[in-house]
Structure 1
C-alpha cells in the first residue's frame, strides 16, 4: 500500500499549484502542474507494471 500512499501524496502536493494556476493564472504554477502530472503518469505506469508482474507470477 505504500505505492498508493505515494500516489496520493503526489496528487495532494499539486493542489496548491492547481489553485494558483486556475484561480490566479500563475504561469509558473502551471509549469509545476505539468511536471507533477508527468511524474504522476510515470508513477502510475510503474504501479501498473508492478501489479501486472505480481499477477503474472501467481499464474505460473
Structure 2
C-alpha cells in the first residue's frame, strides 16, 4: 500500500513537467518526464510483485 502512495505522489510531481513539455515545448521538461515515467514503471513492477506474493501466500 505504501508503494501505491508513492505512485500517486510521483504522478503529481511529474504533472508540472508534462505541461511544460507538451504546452511549452520545453525539451528539458521532456527529459524529466521520461525519467519520471521510468520511475513509475519501476514502482508499478514492485507493486505487481508485492500483490503476486501476497496473493500466493494465501
Shorter-normalised TM-score: what interval?
over 0.9
Q: With the length of structure 2 as denominator, give the TM-score of the two structures.
A: 0.95
Q: Which residues in structure 2 correspond to 1:1-60 (within 5 Å)?
A: 1-58=1-58
Deviation at 1:4, TM superposition (A): 1.4
Deviates more, 1:25-34 or 1:3-12: 3-12
| 4+ long deviations beyond 6 Å | none
Count of aligned positions: 58
Q: CA RMSD in A?
A: 0.6
Which of structures 1 and 2 has the bigger CA Rg?
1
